[in-house]
Every structure is written in structure tokens, then in C-alpha cells.
Amino acid sequence: MKLETLLKIDSRWIFLAFLLAVAIPIIRPIGLPLKISENTKQVYDAVESVPDGGIVVLTPDFSYDNTGELLPMLETFLNHLFTKNIKVVSVSYYGAASPLLMETAMKSVGLETYGKEYGVDFVNLGYIAGDETAVAAFGADVHALVKVDHYGTPISELTIMENLRSAEDIDLEISLSAGMNYPELYLRQWQTTFGTKVTGGSVGLIYAPLIPYISSGQLLGYLPSMRGAAEYELLSRKPASAIVGMDSQSLVHLVFIAAIILCNIGVLGSYLKPEGGEDET
Amino acid sequence: MTTVIGKKEIPVIIVALLSLLMIVPFFINAPALNSMSTEVQRMLVPIAGFALILGGLNVTLRNITKISKRSKDWQFSIVLLATFVFFLVVSLIPSPFFENLYTMAYVTVLGKVNEAVMALIAVFMATMAYRGFKIKNFETLLFTLSCLVVMIANAPIGEAVWAGAPGARNWIMDYPNMAGMRALNIGIALGIMAYGVRTMMGHERIALGDIEIKVKKE
């Protein structure tokens, strides 16, 4: 076989390999090992360091297109937070369905599973329009900005909101986002001004640009994509949907790597041909 | 007076004063300024809400015009308007039935379509990996090698394939990547500051809706 023929593999074979790499481990899990990174430990420690009775603000700023990566992350954070005596306030500054996603996650996690009560241990404030201005206004005076929760209940009737007046009262902000502007918003408006601790997780795509913030200590670690969620599930001893996807993710990565290697063997073959030149595919 | 402060200067003064009101409390702890700044921020949130209404009206009018003129792909505008009206009506009626209908329509239709489109991107990335990472020169060699290292290290199986992958990935992410990202972030921040100062001084006429300059540039 001539090496340059590797440059002409039909795309459908790659699609088939991709399909098998995703489907086989879901049907028959392989159980590949997963090492927990320092970054994930840092996020876990940030949650663990929230004092008893402390307030955590959880901001799911993503939509349904990113549920594959971020919904398992949201659920694993909720599972961990509810095992502790921590008040969880959910609010979103991204309009596309974030409050609905929080509802989906809460149905999966279940307040009653942990003996928690809505309005006392958890509240969903829904979406607030205005992007960075809204984040700044929330940080400065929560009660002046928010009057009702996502379901229309006045926040004055919710005991959880009694001790949350401004970003100064937030013990930890957990940002889950599909765009790097969101963690930056919380760093700018809450951390810089009020000293709020910020951590969270994102889709894999925006993790690299956020590394400088982790290195500078502004972000207390940050979970990258479903792998970060899977590591967190292991750390919090609550294996769930992210771990299930890890075998598939491993095999899909191997398909990508094999595709790159095959293509470059083909390129090498085209260079080694006596007449030279590379076949265009 | 009108010769000193004209039609164009008034918006510049408003922008400059409001900008200073937002910036100064970052640096000075003055309770009166802080509360004024908070009040202005709180006022801007309902304005953002009205902007959403304005956006909705704009989408409606543009698509009605498109349908009435039978412009290219006008049929899609009917689907858009029907969906828009459906979600608007269902979300405005305060009833548990309509709330459930809204959630069901969003989660089972739009949510699933969104997920499917995202999944398709992943599949096309597989063929992109095959066609896009051809090593043709030194730059593409560096690019492909760094991608391979990061990919191997990010895969949960990566360490079993190559034990040194996480270390190599960390070096790439912590040094070349971080240096590049820091340079970009600082550059963007300086650019935003310069743009802000220019806007406050009235040099950014487009920001103030100077149509003439826009037309010239186009």
C-alpha cells in the first residue's frame, strides 16, 4: 500500500470510528483509570473551606448546547454543596435557559434527598438582564435589585436571603459558563471590589484563556469540561453522569490522535515519492 | 451658551459624568458616591430589560417585512415568528399548565436541537483533525505537536499512553499559552481603557451615533 493513500481516507470511516468510540463504552463500560488533577483538588478545597452556614452563589451561565459538559458539573457541585450546611443561591446573567437548566439539575439532585428546604437552604433567583451592569448591581445591593425569585416569591419571604445583602456576604462564587466573559465578570465586579472568592468550571474550549487567572490566584481552580466534573465526582465520592462519559472521551481522543497520525504518515509518503508533492484531499 | 455646549457635546458630557460615576468608587471609598453609583447600576437593569423588548419588536418587524416582500427564504421567517409568538404567549399566561408547556417545549424541542447541533460540531472536528493537522512546515509541526500533547494529556487514558503527557501539557499551558493569554488580556484591557477615555472625551463619534462617520467608513 502506498503511504499517500492515507491522505484519501473517506470521511465516513472517521465518522464510523467516532460513533463506535462514543457508543461502545456507553454500552459496555471499560473502566479506564482517572487521575485527579491539582486544579480539581483546588476547586474541591475552595468548596470545603466555605464556613458552616456560609453562602455560596452558583451562577449557571450556559444554555442547552453545553449541557453535555456543564450539566454534570452543575449536578456534582450541587451534590457536594448539599452534603454540607451551606446556603446555595442560584442566579444567572445569561438569558438562554439557565434558570430552566437549574430546575433540570435540581430535579436530578433533589433537595429532599439531602433534607434541604427551598427558601431556607436553596433559592433560584432566575435570570437578571443587564450583563455586567446587573452583576455589579447585584454585588452592591442584592435586595435593591432583586425583588422576587424565579417563581415570583418575594425574596423578603425567603429566609435564605436575609443574610445576603451584597457580594461581601458571599463566601464563594461558583461560575459555570460556556464563555470566558462570565468568570471575568465576577472577578471584576465581585472579587476586585468586595474580595469575593471565585471558582467554577467551564467548557474545555475556554479553559486555556482562564489559566492566567488560576495562576494569579484570582480563580481558586477551575474545572475544565466533563473531565473536570468527573474528577470532582470522584473527589466528592458521588460518581454520576460525568464519570460514565470518561471512557467515551478517552476513546474519542484516541480516534482524533489516530486521525492526525494517519494523515501525517500520508503527508510523509507524498514527500517520499520520487516526483515529490502532496496529493490534495 | 449654545456655542460652547452644542447638540453633540451634551451626550459626551452625560457619558463622561456617568462613566466617572462608575469608575471613581473603584478607587475612592466615598459612601455618597458609592450609593449614587449603585443607584445608577440598578436603574440600568430595567433599561436592559426594555432593550430585550426592543430587540423582540425589531425581530418581529423585520420578519414581517421579509414575509410581505417575499424576500429570499421568507418561509423561515414564518417559522421564526410562529415560535416567537408561541413562547411569548405561553410565558405570559400565569397558569401551571402553560408554565409546564413552556418548559416542555423549550427542553424537548429547542434544548434537544441545541444539543444535536453541538454534537454535530464534535463529529466534524474529527474530520477536521484528519484534514487540518498536516505538517507542512516548522510552524505546523509545532502546532500539531502541541495539539497532540494536550490531547493525549487531556484524555483520561492519556497517562497510560504516555506517562510524561500531563507534565508536557502543563508546561505548554503554563508557559507559552499563559504568556500569550496574559499578553492578549493586558492588550485588550489597555485597548478598552483607551476606548473608554476616547469615548468620555467625545473622540469616539460612532459610539455616540455619528451616522456620517459610519457611512464614510462603509
pLDDT digits 0-9 by tens, B44-102: 888 888 888 899 999 999 999 999 999 999 999 999 999 999 988 988 888 889 888 88
Residue listed under C-alpha cell 507542512: B136
**Do B49 and A130 make contact, defined as CB atoms within 8 angstroms?**
yes
Whether A201 and A95 map to the same domain: the answer is: yes
Q: Does A109 fall in a domain?
A: yes
Q: Where are the alpha helices (DSSP H) in chain A?
A: 11-27, 38-48, 67-82, 98-109, 131-140, 142-145, 181-186, 192-194, 207-215, 225-235, 241-244, 246-272
> Same domain for A183 and A251?
no
The CATH number assigned to the domain holding A89 equals: 3.40.50
- Boundaries of domain holding A78: 38-244
Kindly give the interhelix angle for B112-132 and A11-27, rounded to the nearest 10 degrees.
130
Judged by a CB distance cut-off of 8 A, whether residue B130 touches chain A is yes
User: Which residue bears the cell 449557571?
Assistant: A60
Output Rg (C-alpha) for chain A, integer angstroms. 23
Query: Average pLDDT, stretch A13-29?
Result: 91
Please identify which residue in the block is written with the cell numbers 447600576: B41
Statement to judge: residues A101 and A116 lie in one domain: yes
Strands, E assignment, B78-206? none
Neighboring chain B residues of A135 at a CB cutoff of 8 Å: none
- Percent of chain B, pLDDT > 90? 39
The pLDDT value given to residue A281: 45
Q: Considering CB atoms only, which of A67, A103, A130 is closest to B44? A: A130
ipTM of the complex: 0.79
Q: Is residue A183 part of a domain?
A: yes
In a shared domain, residues A180 and A261: no
Q: Is some CB atom of chain A closer than 8 A to the CB atom of B45?
A: yes
A224 and A98 part of one domain: yes
CB half-sphere exposure, B52, CA atoms < 13 A: 14
Over residues B135-184, the pLDDT tens digits come to: 989 999 999 999 999 999 988 888 888 889 989 998 999 899 999 999 99
Same-domain status, A267 and A213: no
* Same domain, yes or no: A124 and A187: yes
With contact defined as beta carbons under 8 Å apart, do A176 and A76 qualify? no
User: Could you tell me which residue, A181 or A21, shows the higher pLDDT?
Assistant: A21
A100-129 residues labelled b (16+ CB within 10 A) or e (exposed): bbbbbbbebbebeebebebeebbbbbbbbb
Asked if the structure places residue A278 within a domain, the reply is no
Q: What is the pLDDT of residue B209?
A: 67
Same domain, A181 and A255: no
Chain B nearest-CA distance from A61, in A, is: 15
Question: A62 in a domain, yes or no?
Answer: yes
A227-234 average pLDDT score: 94
Mean pLDDT within B207-216: 58
Contact across the interface for B126 and A259, Cβ inside 8 Å: yes
Give the pLDDT mean for A192-196: 92
A208: in domain? yes
Residue A191 shares a structural domain with residue A147: yes
Give the model's pLDDT for residue A84.
95
pLDDT for A35 beyond 90: no
**The pLDDT value given to residue B218:** 46
Integer-rounded Cα radius of gyration of chain B: 26
Tens of pLDDT, residue by residue over A48-101, are 999 999 999 999 999 888 888 899 999 999 999 999 999 999 999 987 767 788
| Structure confidence at residue A163 (pLDDT) | 93
